[in-house]
Amino acid sequence: MKPYLKQSAIWGFVVLELIFFSVAGEFLSLSDKAFMDLDNMLLLFKQSAPIGIIALGMTVVMINGNIDLSVGAIFALCAIIMLDSMKWPIFAGLGDWVILVGWLLALATGMLLGLINGLIVWKTGVDAFIVTLGSMLGYRGLVFMYNGENPTSNLNWTMVDIAEADILGIETPTIVFVICTILVWLLMTRTVHGRNAYAIGDNREAAVNAGIRVGPHMVWNFVLIGFLAALSAVVFYSASGSVNPNDGTLYELWVITAVVLGGTKLTGGSGSVIATFGGVIAIQLLRKGLGHIGADTAMVNLVIGLILIAVLFLDRQLNRKGKEELRT
């Protein structure tokens, strides 16, 4: 039981949330609908997608021993590029193909911004926390330079249709999120790149001594998270069609919260993509659940904060190395 609990503490937590909100909902909820209603759950997955897709990338970067604080800004900038580029005169006459161009430009922008982060981290040796703190401010600056305080809008109904299409009731954002989870999970568990990323995060020196090219692996992971931040923007703004320059602010913290809740270590070398998926779901459940029983947003934030600390404390208790640890 205990080793199972250790590996999947987050799923236990998800189940607990489901039970709690289902039961509490019976007494406290103003609506007649059950909490675990199918539509409600499908909506939950869809709403998790924007943060979730980025969190997959953050898991990879954190396993690798780095962190990326600029994802919120990349998210916003890519959204602007996507919506605005579709109005550029050079693309006039492409018809609905302009949607594809917008998407590809947005994804390329995300990868480019990630590449810049990665190259700076690699070539300067400055800590990723500092580098991406800088690029977070810098990229956000670009967002405001683009269109000032004004929103950038472009509502294209074909695009909205694609973004809100569904297969058996499962909508595009959910499908993208799940497929990405599977692909990133395969990347991290089964490929050379994934294995080396774990090794670098766990013991960088040993990785260097084993002839692993540490720098390129790190850069690729920054490119990956840039790509995923852009993909998240593509999925979300294809439906909404309008981006404010402040969109995506604090996303980095929500993303990190989800990843850490899933058990990935800030120090690198350890973590799981599937557990991050669980972390994302757990946070969204908490938000929806608290809303369901009538708590307001301020309350939700307070509770999530407390639970984050509680879950990590529990994780520490379960995973303590014997009883050998020093009392501090």
Partner 1 sequence: MTDIPALRLQDIVKTFPGVRALDGVSFQVMPGEVHALLGENGAGKSTLMKVLGGIHQPDEGKIFIAEQPAVMKSPLDAKSKGVVFIHQELSLADELLAAENIYLGELPRKSFGRVDWKTLYEKSDAILARLKCSFDSRKLVGDLSIANKQMVEIARALTVDAKAVIFDEPTASLTDAEKVVLFDVINDLRSDGVGVVYISHRMDEIFTISDKISVLRDGSYRGSLVTVDTDEDEVTKLMIGRSLDSENPIVPAKKGPIALEVQGLSCGDLFQNVSFKVHEGEVVGFYGLVGAGRTEIAETLFGLRAPSAGKILLEGKEVKIASPIEAIAHGISLVPEDRKGQGLVLGMNCKDNMTLPQISDLTAGPFVSDGAEVAIFDQYRDRLQIKTPGWRQKVGNLSGGNQQKIVIGKWLSMAPKVLIVDEPTRGIDVGSKAEIHNLIRDLASQGYAVIVISSEMPEVLRVSDRVVAMFHGEIIREFTVDEVNEDNLVQAISGIRTTKVA
Contact 243, 237 (CB under 8 A): yes
Radius of gyration of the chain (CA): 20
Q: What is the DSSP letter of 268?
A: S
**Binding-site member from 81, 199, 233, 308 for partner 1 (CB under 8 A):** 199
In whole angstroms, how close is the CB of 160 to partner 1 at the nearest point?
35
- Is the Cβ–Cβ distance between 92 and 295 less than 8 Å? no
Least distance between partner 1 and beta carbon 134 (Å)? 26
Interface of this chain with partner 1, residues 249 to 278, rule: CB under 8 A: 269-270
Q: What is the size of the binding site for partner 1 (CB under 8 A)?
A: 25
- Which is closer to partner 1, CB of 199 or CB of 280? 199
Sketch the per residue contact string, 207 through 236, with partner 1: x for CB under 8 A, - otherwise.
Answer: xxxxxxx-----------------------
For the CB of residue 131, give the shortest distance to partner 1 in the complex, in Å: 23
Q: Is position 64 an interface residue for partner 1 (rule: CB under 8 A)?
A: no
Instruction: Assess 326 for contact with partner 1 (CB under 8 A).
Output: yes
- Of 263, 255, 240, 78, the C-alpha closest to 160 is 240
Task: Give the other-Cβ count within 10 Å of 36's Cβ.
Answer: 13
Determine the distance from the C-alpha atom of residue 290 to the mean position of all C-alpha atoms in its chain, rounded to a whole number: 22
- Residue 167 as a binder of partner 1 (CB under 8 A): the answer is no
**Residue 319 interacts with partner 1 (CB under 8 A)?**
no
Distance, in Å, from the CA atom of 79 to the CA atom of 241, rounded to the nearest integer, reads 9
**Phi, psi at 194, each rounded to 5°:** -65, -50
Given 31, 124, 150, 191, the residue binding partner 1 (CB under 8 A): 191
Task: In whole angstroms, give the CA distance from residue 102 to residue 98.
Answer: 6
Task: By CB under 8 A, name the binding residues for partner 1.
Answer: 186, 190-192, 195-196, 198-199, 202-203, 205-213, 269-270, 322-323, 326-327
